[in-house]
């Protein structure tokens, strides 16, 4: 189980995201710097205990109405060893009060997160509470039919869209596509899970305290 340390990070996650979010194609520009707050999320365990995995929801109140974004993050003790050194997915570095320097990545481009997200969608991983150690999070629910587990056989490819990120994963059962909902809507359209073999939903909060649920990620067969 992942350990959540009660300590500081400098710069903090929201400080890093304030600079990084506006560079994403799914971010809705407001004409001002983002004003971010954590509004929900959960964690997944890395079986090897090396990489921190967090699915964070942040709300941006810098525009006329709040916008909510899903930002999956990974926390590493060394730079990601990947083509291009993962620079295109690097959110930034931060000094952790216990663990030292951490390299923080957009998890859509981190192979450890991709493998564990696939396991979650296939019912083989258990979501964990965002801010507590060794605490499963029952509010994160999986929907869809049971399927045969598939193991990745090569590097995944992430492609950003206007409100989501598609991740193509070659597996021993053929190509699978994971879709991360980046811009969360108050009422998710039925099309959000069309053709999905499985999907997960989780809660998040608006600045006024009202709670909503939305599909965070889905799995389908093929491209």
- In tens, the pLDDT along 60-92 reads 999 999 999 999 999 999 998 765 445 579 999
Phi-psi bin for 98: left (phi > 0), alpha (psi -120 to 50), beta?
alpha
**pLDDT of amino acid 141:** 97
Of residues 144 and 60, the one with the higher pLDDT is 60
pLDDT at 203 over 90: yes
**pLDDT of amino acid 81:** 78
Helix (H/G/I), strand (E/B), else coil: 142: strand
The single residue listed with the structure tokens 């916008």 is 67
Give Cα 90 distance to the centre of its chain. 14
**pLDDT of amino acid 1:** 57
Residues 6+ apart with CB under 8 A from 9: 94, 95, 96, 97, 102
Q: DSSP E strands: which ranges in the chain?
A: 9-10, 36-44, 52-60, 67-76, 90-96, 100-106, 141-144, 157-160, 164-171, 174-181, 183-184, 198-205, 211-221
Give the CA distances from residue 38 to residues 24, 50, 119, 181, 223, in Å, rounded to whole numbers and listed in that order. 18, 24, 25, 17, 32
Taking the C-alpha atoms of residue 101 and residue 191, their distance in angstroms, rounded to an integer, is: 41
């Amino acid at each position: 189980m992942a350990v959540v340390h009660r300590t500081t990070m400098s710069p903090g996650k929201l400080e890093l995201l304030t600079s990084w979010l506006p560079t994403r194609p799914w971010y809705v520009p407001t004409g001002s710097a983002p004003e971010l707050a954590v509004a929900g999320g959960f964690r997944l365990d890395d079986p090897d205990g090396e990489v921190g995995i967090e699915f964070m929801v942040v709300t941006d109140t810098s525009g006329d109405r709040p916008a909510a974004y899903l930002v999956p993050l990974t926390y590493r003790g060394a730079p990601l060893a990947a083509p291009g050194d993962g620079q295109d997915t690097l959110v930034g570095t931060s000094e952790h009060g216990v663990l030292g320097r951490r390299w923080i990545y957009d998890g859509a481009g981190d192979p450890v997160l991709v493998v564990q997200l696939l396991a979650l969608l296939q019912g083989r991983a258990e979501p964990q509470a965002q801010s507590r150690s060794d605490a499963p999070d029952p509010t994160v629910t999986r929907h869809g039919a049971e399927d045969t587990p598939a193991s990745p056989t090569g590097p995944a490819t992430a492609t950003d869209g206007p409100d989501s990120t598609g991740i193509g994963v070659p597996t021993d059962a053929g190509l699978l596509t994971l879709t991360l909902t980046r811009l969360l809507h108050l009422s998710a359209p039925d099309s959000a899970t069309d053709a999905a073999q499985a999907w997960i939903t989780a809660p998040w909060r608006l600045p006024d305290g009202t709670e909503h649920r939305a599909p965070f990620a889905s799995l389908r067969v093929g491209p």
